[in-house]
Chain A
């Protein structure tokens, strides 16, 4: 299937090792090299089944750090893996729910609340993708447009509302992650979960900006768009604050560029090149 020079048997054997290492019990970020192998695998073979199978085989759920790392791994593979992963993940909802259920109320290292919130977020993301299969995992606008092959934002009102809903979920979850930082620790493992959240929220933000601008260009009923504008502006300020806090986390800025938003939200009545 892939045009790359690959060896399927070797890939399968390595994959389960990569899943195992990405979800090791050390309270660190999942190593990117292992996460990357999982992502590349889904593109090579247009499948994520072996990843889910490996996650079930590993004794992950007995340990809160391992469970949390598994969720980070899965989130990244959903974002950057082949489109099929978003579809196949719909059959794994039971596994996510088990993650939530297995962690007790009180846990030694304080991950249980985070795990339940992460599961809630990923399930919301999966619901979104089920209703809007034309989006990729990172909400990349260019790919959406090339897929749809048209630029017709009028049909987008409901999509925009759903996207804003998801953006609010990210906002809730990231706040919880910050609230669970521990003064003494490096918090590396918790910070690692912010990486995919920064990327996803920015993808959604850019998408919303483009869609809303296009709608403003086309419609005569500016009043009808007022609620969307208000909510967009509100989310802009939240995001700006989120990115500002992320920019102060040295570990995070060594991994990705954190976007910097202007103080004021962009004017949706302007065309982007104005």
Chain B
């Protein structure tokens, strides 16, 4: 995809955000999980993880994430990046993210057979299938998820509060 096309696509997204009345938080999720061939960046994901601790923002994030996860094959990037973001949220986001996706695990689980072959014959679904498998396993392993969340929080504490050491 040429950069010019990408520019006009992101311009489109700005327009759509406006017309559909998405909130600032929802626009952030849409940007992080867009059809651009890069991202989501660590910074984007971190910001959304922090926002997920606010109940209203959490609901808005889930609304868009749910839409993106259920998008069609042609938009496989939406699905793939939403799984990337979801993985991050499960590690660093609020406990609500964990509860929500444990309740709705089937949304992820059923992506294990996601299919999309692009016009060049490349199997773009493979990445989605692998990530869906990884996240399903993580969600089903309570002890591992607890441990990974703990060590992530610990690391963040050390990095942000480093001056106290």
Contacts of B113 in A (CB 8 A): 32, 36, 195, 255-256
Report how far A40 CA is from B108 CA in the complex, Å. Answer: 10
Supply 16 A–B pairs (Cβ within 8 Å), ascending by A.
A3-B100, A3-B103, A4-B62, A4-B107, A5-B62, A32-B115, A36-B113, A39-B106, A39-B110, A40-B70, A40-B106, A40-B107, A40-B110, A43-B104, A80-B110, A82-B106
Are B63 and A36 touching (Cβ within 8 A)?
A: no
- Check: B109 CB closer than 8 A to any chain A CB: yes
Flag if A4 contacts B110 (CB, 8 Å): no
Tell me whether A142 is interfacial, beta carbon within 8 Å: yes
Chain B residue contacts of A40, Cβ below 8 A:
70, 106-107, 110
Q: Which residues of B contact A142 (CB under 8 A)?
A: 140
Residues A184-233 near B (CB distance < 8 A)? 195
- What is B's interface to A at a CB cutoff of 8 Å? 62-63, 66, 70, 72-73, 100, 103-104, 106-107, 109-111, 113-115, 123, 140
Asked if A248 is an interface residue, CB under 8 A from chain B, the answer is no
User: Closest Cβ of chain A: how far from B62's Cβ, in Å?
Assistant: 7
C-alpha spacing A32/B66, complex, angstroms = 18
For the complex, give the distance between the alpha carbons of A3 and B107 in Å: 12
* Bound Cα distance A36, B62 (Å): 20
A77 to B110, CA, bound (A): 11
Task: Give the nearest-CB partner of B115 in chain A.
Answer: A32
Digit string of A28-72 for contact with B (CB within 8 Å is 1, else 0)?
000111001001100100000000000000000000000000000
Q: How far is the CA of A33 from the CA of B100 in the complex (A)?
A: 23
- In the complex, the 9 A-B pairs of residues with the closest C-beta atoms, listed nearest first: A43-B106, A36-B110, A5-B63, A32-B113, A32-B115, A39-B110, A3-B103, A4-B66, A4-B104
Verify if A2 is at the interface (C-beta below 8 Å from B): yes
